[in-house]
Homo-oligomer: A and B are copies of this chain.
Amino acid sequence: MKIIINQKTLAAKIGIAQRAVSSKTTVDLLKGLLLIAKNDQLKIKSSDSEIGIETYTQADVQQEGSIVVDSRLFGDIIRKLPDSLVELETDVDNNIYIYCVNSKFKIKGYSSNDFPILPEVDDATLCDLPQELLKNMIKQTVFAIAQDSAKPLLTGELLEISDQKINLVAVDGYRLAVRSAKFAQEGINAKVIIPGKTLVDVNSLLDGEENVRLGFNNKNAVFIIGETKITTRLLEGEFMNYKNLLPKEYNTKINLNTRDLLNSIERASLLSQTDKNNLIKFSIRDEIMAITSNTDVGNVYEEVAISLEGDYLDIAFNSRYLLEGVKNIDSEFVDIEFTKNINPCILKPSNDTDYTYLLLPVRLS
């Protein structure tokens, strides 16, 4: 292969493809980027066991061909070259030569024959979603997936499309985050579980105006963002029936300023985090909620103004889980609904049904 390409363009494309390169693998080939020069295009592919990224750009292809290069070394070299034209050339021994102004590199590569091939998802099933919306949906839920690989299905998120509505759902056994949105296209139904790591990678590539194109089959999903295609294995199995977890009614409902609540919980957390249970307590009364934490190193008492509907309540939470939920409420005021101090509560943006964060309390002894 022999191509000539602009340094900045090449560096940007490498940066995209590198997101699927595992830093942990001991297999040299999986630390690689596959470069394919064909039809005036350079394609760059990367893959780990779960996710594959493929991106392309125009290039002056003087001789078609392909090679696998070490992702880190190749990326570091290209990024350090001057903003000029770069010539890439390979030889029959799988070396790649990099020429740019006064620099000449010769780097050992690998044959492209053994590079893992990503499954293709039939393009006919593709549907559209605004990038900004998908970005928010991921951000508001992905933190609530299970970190524990003992519950493999819960390390992913349920993506449901039906009746022109799309839901993204994460649950880890202590809390549940659901983000919903209207879905413009008719007649599309899906119910798939997408690995959390894939959603984090997709999220990091979302920053444009155009729509993301999504597609699914039984085994795989694809996200197409401009010139970049992310293919992922789906998690197979039946996701938890999360709708049954959401309480239908409440005994206590409070409404308060989201920023005030966040600040008070953050301060109270400074003490609670010195304790292994991360415990903070809400004491809900007329007009005032006290937030307290009591640990070996000291205690804290915070007050926030609320409007109360229903009963007084004392209830305790893991402050970290609570914080992560409140941080994702993007409206000025938040509603919190409780039944009893041993049942889950629900946080929602006021006057908005598109986001729901359910959290189990900690039982007080």
CB within 8 A of A299: which of B82, B106, B264?
B106
Q: Determine whether A73 belongs to the interface, using a CB cutoff of 8 Å to chain B.
A: yes
A326 is an interface residue with CB less than 8 A from chain B? no
Task: Enumerate chain B residues within 8 angstroms of A82, measured Cβ to Cβ.
Answer: 263
Q: A98 CB to closest chain B CB, in angstroms? A: 9
Segment at the interface with B among A158-166, A198-206, A266-274, A328-336: A266-274
A172 at interface, CB cutoff 8 A? no
**In the bound complex, what is the Cα–Cα distance between A106 and B266 (angstroms)?**
16
Q: Is the CB of A297 within 8 A of B73?
A: yes
State A301–B107 Cα separation when bound (angstroms). Answer: 12
A365 within 8 Å of B by Cβ? no
Query: How many copies are assembled?
Result: 2
Contact mask A97-110 → B, CB, 8 Å, 1/0? 00000111111100
Contacting residues of chain A (303-352) with chain B, CB-CB under 8 angstroms: 303-304
Contacts of A95 in B (CB 8 A): 298
Pairwise interchain contact A107-B297, C-beta atoms closer than 8 A: yes
Q: Is A300 an interface residue (CB 8 A)?
A: yes
B70 touching A297, Cβ below 8 Å: yes
Chain B proximity of A341: nearest CB distance (Å): 23
Q: Is the CB of B76 within 8 A of A270?
A: yes
Q: Is the CB of B267 within 8 A of A298?
A: no
* Residue contact B267 to A81, C-beta cutoff 8 Å: yes
CB within 8 Å of B: which A251-298 residues:
263-264, 266-267, 270-271, 274, 296-298
A190 interfacial by beta-carbon distance below 8 Å: no
Q: Return the contact of A302 from the options B103, B271, B301 (Cβ within 8 A).
A: B103
Residues of B with C-beta under 8 A to A24: none
Query: Does A77 touch B at the CB level, under 8 Å?
Result: yes
Indicate if A243 sits at the interface (CB-CB under 8 A): no
CA–CA, A270 to B302, complex, Å? 53
Instruction: Decide yes or no whether A248 CB sits under 8 A from chain B.
Output: no
A300 touches B104 (CB 8 A): yes
Identify which of B102, B274, B297 contacts A303 (C-beta below 8 A). B102
Cα-based distance from A164 to B73 in the complex (angstroms)? 49
Enumerate chain B residues within 8 angstroms of A73, measured Cβ to Cβ. 270-271, 274, 297-298
Most buried by B among A106, A274, A298, A303: A298
Q: Which residue of B lies closest to A294 (CB)?
A: B106
The CA-CA distance from A266 to B80 in the complex, in Å, is 8
Contact yes or no, A80 B298, CB < 8 A: no
Q: Are B105 and A298 neighbours in the complex by a CB distance under 8 Å? A: yes
C-alpha spacing A341/B353, complex, angstroms: 74
Say how far A301's CB is from chain B's closest CB, in angstroms: 4
Find residues 70-96 in chain A having any chain B CB closer than 8 Å to their own CB: 70, 73, 76-77, 80-82, 95
Instruction: Please report the C-alpha to C-alpha distance between residue A263 and residue B104 in the assembled complex, in whole angstroms.
Output: 13
List of B residues within 8 angstroms of A76 by Cβ = 270
Assess the A297–B105 pair: CB atoms within 8 A.
no
18 A–B contacts, CB within 8 A, in A order: A70-B297, A73-B270, A73-B271, A73-B297, A73-B298, A76-B270, A77-B267, A80-B263, A80-B267, A81-B267, A102-B302, A103-B300, A103-B302, A105-B267, A105-B298, A105-B300, A106-B298, A107-B297
Supplied contacts A76-B270, A80-B266, A105-B298, 7 more A-B pairs, CB within 8 Å: A73-B298, A77-B267, A80-B267, A82-B263, A95-B298, A105-B267, A105-B301
3 closest Cβ pairs, A-B complex: A107-B298, A102-B303, A104-B301
